[in-house]
């Protein structure tokens, strides 16, 4: 009850003069429908996992009896989840983001949202809404994580995941299902994969750089091919996972180890056997480059190449190469370990 009373308290402030320091730069007038909120100069905020990011929302004036509500649009459900509500003096946090969000409030017109220890699931579209009776208005911003998309399938072959299984599989590999924007960006950067996979909104796609017969035919132009929305329970495909920067490091231990010995070798160093997403992250952000196949936590054997060369698979492009899922009893490979900070 006390919290509701506090949130009910409202500022009784006068509108600032036209000469306010929060005018937009010359030549970039605010859209006419925004009377109180400033249109953000940069509607996309770029960050990485583990960082602190601020989504700007600044008022040009303080109306009477107003509230500012921050919410996040969830692509899988298209619903908005409320994050924080403020009347400028008091605020209340909501939902799973609650422990990691606060208002920047660097001045009395500032309703910007700060997210600490950014997580993979924080990427997406946010809305800052001024609630002011009949004069409600809002601005939208996108939080974009720098990262890498990788296709993923289990040890028993392709097209084994329904949507929910694909989502869990990505999460188990220190990643999450990619968004369409992430998959599209990965395609522009060279991702070429002939197997269709789930993405976060429940649709199914596959990215093609080199048109070829088994992948829709040679006559189709390169692009992100789509199967559209599919039945999340019944239909089965691979997964496209997304991961971002690590808070830790991945390193290789040489040896002729079976899977069990590989895990123990990492534990002997105070680390854990690396997950697929962690290896991709180390390849992307730390330029990890090794020609040695190593065990990973899912039982697969892979190795990361940033400088392609003939004796390391012979492929012309950088990437994480895979030997698939060999017998866990095989003593042929080393292991990749992950040590957190």
Q: What's the pLDDT tens digit per position in 236-274?
A: 999 999 999 998 999 999 999 999 999 999 999 999 999
- What is the structure's pLDDT at 218? 81
Question: Which residues contact residue 305 at a Cβ distance below 8 angstroms, ignoring those fewer than 6 apart?
Answer: 283, 289, 290, 291, 312, 313, 315, 318, 319, 320, 321
Domain layout of the chain by residue ranges? 37-145, 147-243, 246-340
Query: In this structure, are residues 154 and 97 in contact, taking their beta carbons and an 8 Å threshold?
Result: no
| Section 306-319 average pLDDT | 91
- What is the structure's pLDDT at 216? 82
Decide if pLDDT at 128 tops 50: yes
Q: What's the pLDDT tens digit per position in 153-172?
A: 999 999 999 999 999 999 99
| Section 325-334 average pLDDT | 97
Decide if pLDDT at 311 tops 70: yes
- Out of 40-49, 73-82, 181-190, 311-320, pick the least confident: 73-82
**Residue with structure tokens 């003593």?**
331
124: left (phi > 0), else alpha (psi -120 to 50), else beta?
left
- What is the structure's pLDDT at 338? 98
Query: In this structure, are residues 249 and 286 in contact, taking their beta carbons and an 8 Å threshold?
Result: yes
Decide if pLDDT at 293 tops 80: yes
Q: What's the pLDDT tens digit per position in 69-116?
A: 999 988 666 688 999 999 988 999 999 999 999 999 999 999 999 999
Structure-block tokens of residue 49: 């996992």
Query: In this structure, are residues 65 and 133 in contact, taking their beta carbons and an 8 Å threshold?
Result: yes
Look at domain 147-243 and name its CATH class. Answer: alpha beta
| Section 296-307 average pLDDT | 98
Query: In this structure, are residues 198 and 227 in contact, taking their beta carbons and an 8 Å threshold?
Result: no
Strand ranges in 116-169 using DSSP code E only, listed in sequence order: 124-131, 137-145, 147-152
CATH number of 37-145: 2.60.40.10
Fold of 246-340: Mannose-Binding Protein A; Chain A (3.10.100)
Model confidence, pTM: 0.83
How far, CA to CA in Å, does 294 sit from each of 2, 45, 235, 237, 273?
Answer: 57, 36, 32, 26, 10
Number of helices (H) and strands (E), helices first, in the chain?
Answer: 5, 21
Q: Do domains 37-145 and 147-243 have the same CATH topology?
A: no
Which helix (H) or strand (E) element contains residue 42?
Answer: none
Decide if pLDDT at 22 tops 90: no
- What is the structure's pLDDT at 24? 42
Q: In the chain, what percentage of residues exceed pLDDT 90?
A: 77
Structure-block tokens of residue 322: 């895979």
């Amino acid at each position: 009850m006390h919290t509701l009373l506090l949130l009910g308290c409202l500022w009784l402030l006068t509108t600032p003069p036209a000469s306010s320091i929060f005018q937009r730069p010359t030549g970039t007038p605010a859209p006419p429908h925004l009377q109180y909120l400033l249109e953000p100069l940069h509607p996309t905020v770029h960050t990485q996992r583990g960082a602190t990011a601020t989504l700007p929302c600044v008022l040009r004036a303080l109306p009477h009896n107003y509230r500012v509500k921050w919410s996040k649009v969830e692509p899988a459900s298209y619903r908005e989840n409320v994050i924080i509500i403020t009347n400028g003096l008091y605020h209340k946090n909501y939902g799973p983001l609650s422990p990691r969000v606060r208002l920047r409030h660097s001045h009395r017109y500032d309703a910007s949202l700060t997210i600490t220890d950014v997580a993979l699931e924080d990427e997406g579209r946010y809305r800052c809404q001024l609630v002011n009776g009949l004069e409600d208005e809002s601005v939208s911003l996108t939080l974009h994580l720098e990262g890498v998309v990788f296709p993923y399938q289990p040890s028993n072959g392709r097209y084994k995941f329904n949507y929910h299984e694909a989502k869990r599989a990505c999460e188990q590999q220190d990643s999450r299902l990619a968004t369409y924007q992430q998959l599209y960006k990965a395609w522009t950067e060279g991702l070429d994969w002939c197997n269709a996979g789930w993405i976060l909104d429940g649709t199914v796609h596959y990215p093609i750089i080199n048109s070829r017969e088994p992948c829709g035919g040679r006559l189709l132009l390169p692009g992100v091919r789509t199967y559209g929305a599919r039945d999340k329970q019944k239909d089965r495909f691979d997964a496209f996972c997304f991961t971002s920067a690590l808070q830790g490091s991945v390193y290789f231990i040489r040896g002729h180890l079976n899977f069990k010995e590989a895990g123990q070798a990492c534990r002997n160093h105070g680390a854990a056997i690396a997950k697929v997403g962690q290896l991709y992250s180390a390849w992307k952000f730390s330029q990890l480059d090794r020609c040695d196949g190593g065990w990973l936590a899912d039982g697969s054997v892979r190795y990361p190449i940033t400088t392609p060369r003939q004796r390391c698979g012979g492929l012309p492009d950088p990437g994480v190469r895979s030997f698939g899922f060999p017998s866990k009893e095989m003593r042929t490979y080393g292991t990749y370990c992950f040590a957190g900070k």
